[in-house]
C-alpha cells in the first residue's frame, strides 16, 4: 500500500519501483501517481514483486508511506489428512517474516 499523509503538499507524487532484469540491469517502472485531493492511496496487492526491489519518489515531495508484507509460500505434496487447507495457510502466514524495515514492522517513509 502506498499512501499520502495529511499535511502533504497538494501536488502529484510519482512513485517508481526499481528492480533488476536477468542481465542485472536496473529497470525502473512508475507504479503510482498520487495526489492528496483525488488519489491519496494505492493498493499494490495485484503487483508481484521479485525481491530485491527499491521504491523511489520520482517526482513531487514526500512523505509517501509504504506498507506491505513478505509472504513465503511452500508447496508440499505430503500433507496429512488431518491438516485442512486453511490450517496450512494459517501456519504459512503466521511464520512469514515482515519485509518492512525496523524490528517492530514500522512503515517505510520515502524521503521528500
Give just the sign of the alpha carbon dihedral 70, 103, 67, 93. Answer: positive
Q: Give the whole-angstrom CA distance, residue 53 versus residue 46.
A: 16
Residue 29, beta-bridge partner list? 17
Q: What is the pLDDT of residue 84?
A: 57
**pTM recorded for the entire structure:** 0.60
List the CATH number of the domain containing 29: 2.60.120.340
Percent of the chain's residues with pLDDT above 70: 68
Decide if 81 is inside a domain.
no
Decide if 52 is inside a domain.
yes
Decide if 11 is inside a domain.
yes
Could you tell me the residue range of the domain that residue 33 belongs to? 2-69+101-110
Q: Give the whole-angstrom CA distance, residue 2 versus residue 68.
A: 9
SS3 label, residue 45: coil
pLDDT digits (tens, 9 = 90+) for 88-102: 555 544 444 444 343
Decide if 9 is inside a domain.
yes
Decide if 57 is inside a domain.
yes
Q: Give the whole-angstrom CA distance, residue 50 versus residue 65.
A: 20
**Number of separate domains in the chain:** 1
Decide if 88 is inside a domain.
no
pLDDT digits (tens, 9 = 90+) for 37-59: 999 999 998 888 888 889 999 99
Amino acid at each position: 500500500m502506498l499512501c499520502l499523509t495529511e499535511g502533504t503538499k497538494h501536488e502529484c507524487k510519482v512513485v517508481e519501483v526499481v528492480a533488476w532484469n536477468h542481465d542485472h540491469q536496473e529497470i525502473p517502472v512508475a507504479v503510482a501517481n498520487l495526489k492528496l485531493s483525488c488519489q491519496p492511496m494505492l493498493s499494490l496487492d495485484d503487483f508481484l514483486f521479485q525481491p530485491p526491489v527499491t521504491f523511489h519518489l520520482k517526482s513531487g515531495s514526500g512523505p509517501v508511506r509504504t506498507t506491505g508484507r513478505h509472504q513465503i509460500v511452500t508447496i508440499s505434496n505430503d500433507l496429512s489428512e488431518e491438516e485442512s487447507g486453511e490450517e496450512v495457510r494459517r501456519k504459512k502466514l503466521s511464520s512469514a517474516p515482515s519485509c518492512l524495515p525496523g524490528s517492530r514492522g514500522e512503515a517505510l517513509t520515502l524521503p521528500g
